Amino acid sequence: MLCFNLKIEETESIAKKWIIDMWGKPDLSLADMLVDSNYKPEWIHIDKKGPKLIKHEIQHFRSIFPDLKHEIIEIKGEENKVWIRYKATGTHKGTGWGFQPTNKRVDFEVAAILYVSEGKVIDLWESFCFYDILAELGVLPPFWDLHKYLLDYKPK
> For the chain (length 156 residues), average pLDDT per consecutive 10?
67 95 95 95 86 95 95 94 96 90 95 95 92 89 79 63
The pLDDT, as a whole number, for residue 155 is 59
Domains identified in the chain and CATH numbers = 8-150 (3.10.450.50)
pLDDT of the residue at 28: 96
pTM of the predicted protein model: 0.84
Our measurement of the distance from residue 13's CA atom to the centroid of its chain's CA atoms, rounded to an integer in Å, reads 18
- How far apart (Å, rounded) are the C-alpha atoms in residues 104 and 101? 8
Distance CA 83, CA 11 (A): 9
How far is 72 from 10, CA to CA, in rounded Å?
A: 16
3-state secondary structure of 55: helix
